[in-house]
Amino acid sequence: MPINYYIFLSVALFCIGVAGVLTRRNAIIIFMCIELMLNAVNLLLVAFSKMHHAVLPVLDPNAGINGQLFVFFIMVVAAAEVCVGLAIIAMLYRNTHSVDVNFLNRLKH
Amino acid sequence: MTLTQFLFWFLSALSIFSAIMVVISKNPVHSVLWLIIVFFTISGHYILLNAQFLAIVNLIVYAGAIMVLFLFVIMLMNLNAETEPQKNKWLKITGVIGGGALLLVLVAALKDADTRNQMAQMGTGDIGLIHNLGMALFKEYVIPFEISSILFLSAMVGAVVIGKKE
């Protein structure tokens, strides 16, 4: 497939994630939209690694493998991020009984 | 239209529709279920690109572990459509306009980029297999791999410390 299709698909998914972060007020949904954006970037990295591999398979049999390993490390960091983030949201809910981000503006005052 | 092209268009349409449903669902549990469908379609894309290891890791880590964690937290908090925070209509409109403007700018910028004639290799090429990825991971990238294990340990300790009752 042309690489442009993958670029536009990833851009569309990323922008849906951005729109979700801007419109939703529930902290957990905002967190899920961030995961959506991370996955759009992962998909684009894998597509680019396969594009790079298609250009230079003879010179370097491992051309493009860095992109896939980078996706692997992004997944590792995302798992750690979700673990800490959900702990923070659970603690906020225990203290305020709400996950509305409009309500959680105490750092402003 | 070959089978690969058909699968590409089908998975793309399904992933964009599910992503939109994640954002517009009123009930947080439905949002989580739609997001799981998005992860499955992205794993399907990885399989089409012959990145088999990443497809399986995506399913196990995202659709398996992370989304179960999300569902667990939502059920712990007893969130549903009635307790959904009320939002301002203008805020919603400006958010959609902001996302749409970003989409417009990115598409306009990338439409005529040099990548027009490049193709992504579908179904062939063996860089996505676990043998090659493992060789590269444990030879060139062994230090980042070990550092990521320290990151996991600190995240685990952090989650326990934050979630602990005072």
pLDDT in tens, A51-79: 888 777 667 777 788 889 999 999 999 99
pLDDT band at A40 (very low <50, low <70, confident <90, very high): very high
What letter does residue A103 receive in the DSSP assignment?
A: T
Beta bridge partners of residue A10, listed in sequence order: none
**Average pLDDT score over residue span B8-32:** 91
Given this model, what pLDDT does residue A108 score?
Answer: 62
Of B84, B108, B140, the residue at which a domain comes to its end is: B84
Residues of A in contact with B62 (CB under 8 A): 35, 39, 75, 78
> Is residue A68 situated within a structural domain?
yes
Given this model, what pLDDT does residue B85 score?
Answer: 62
Residue A69's alpha-carbon distances to A2, B118, B141, in angstroms, are 22, 22, 9
Question: What mean pLDDT, rounded, does chain B reach?
Answer: 87
Scanning A8-47 for CB atoms below 8 A from B yields: 8-9, 11-26, 28-29, 31-33, 35-36, 39, 42-43, 46-47
Q: Taking CA atoms, what residue in A is nearest to B64?
A: A79
Given this model, what pLDDT does residue B10 score?
Answer: 93
Over chain B, what HEC string results? CCHHHHHHHHHHHHHHHHHHHHHHCCCHHHHHHHHHHHHHHHHHHHHHCCCHHHHHHHHHHHHHHHHHHHHHHHHHHCCCCCCCCCCCHHHHHHHHHHHHHHHHHHHHHHCCCHHHHCECCCCCCCCCCHHHHHHHHHHCCHHHHHHHHHHHHHHHHHHHHHHCCC
> Is residue B118 situated within a structural domain?
no
> Is residue A109 situated within a structural domain?
no
Given this model, what pLDDT does residue B118 score?
Answer: 77
**Average pLDDT score over residue span A47-53:** 87
Residues of B in contact with A105 (CB under 8 A): none
Q: What's the domain count of chain B?
A: 2
Identify from A22, A31, A33, A51 which residue to disrupt to test chain B contact, counting B C-beta atoms within 10 A and taking the largest count: A22
* A79 at interface of B, judged by CB pairs closer than 8 A: yes
Instruction: Let me know if B120 is exposed, middle or buried by CB neighbors in 10 A (0-12, 13-18, 19+).
Output: buried
**CA-based angle A87:A92:A98, to the nearest 5?**
125
Contact B76 A62 (CB under 8 A): no
The answer on pLDDT for B29 being more than 70 is yes
> Is residue B113 situated within a structural domain?
no
The answer on pLDDT for A45 being more than 80 is yes
The answer on pLDDT for B81 being more than 70 is no
CA distance linking residue B156 with residue B47, whole number of Å: 31
- Assess whether B133 and B76 both reside in one domain: no
CA distance linking residue B70 with residue B48, whole number of Å: 28
> Is residue B24 situated within a structural domain?
yes
What's the gap between Cα A104 and its chain centre? 23
Q: Is A26 helix (H, G, I), strand (E, B) or coil?
A: strand
The answer on pLDDT for A43 being more than 80 is yes
**Average pLDDT score over residue span B40-54:** 91
* A83 at interface of B, judged by CB pairs closer than 8 A: yes
CATH number of B42's domain: 1.20.120.1200
Q: List Cβ neighbours of A34 (8 Å cut-off, separation of 6 or more).
A: A17, A21
Under a CB-based contact definition with an 8 Å cutoff, are residues B48 and B122 in contact?
yes
> Is residue B96 situated within a structural domain?
no
The answer on pLDDT for B80 being more than 90 is no
Quick one: which H or E segment has residue A89? helix A65-96
Q: Taking CA atoms, what residue in A is nearest to B77?
A: A93
Given this model, what pLDDT does residue B105 score?
Answer: 93
Given this model, what pLDDT does residue A109 score?
Answer: 61
Identify from A8, A51, A59, A82 which residue to disrupt to test chain B contact, counting B C-beta atoms within 10 A and taking the largest count: A82
- Which segment of A15-19, A33-37, A94-98 scores lowest on mean pLDDT? A94-98
Range of the structural domain that residue B1 is part of = 1-84
The answer on pLDDT for B122 being more than 90 is no
Range of the structural domain that residue A88 is part of = 3-104
Under a CB-based contact definition with an 8 Å cutoff, are residues B122 and A49 in contact?
no
Given this model, what pLDDT does residue B46 score?
Answer: 92
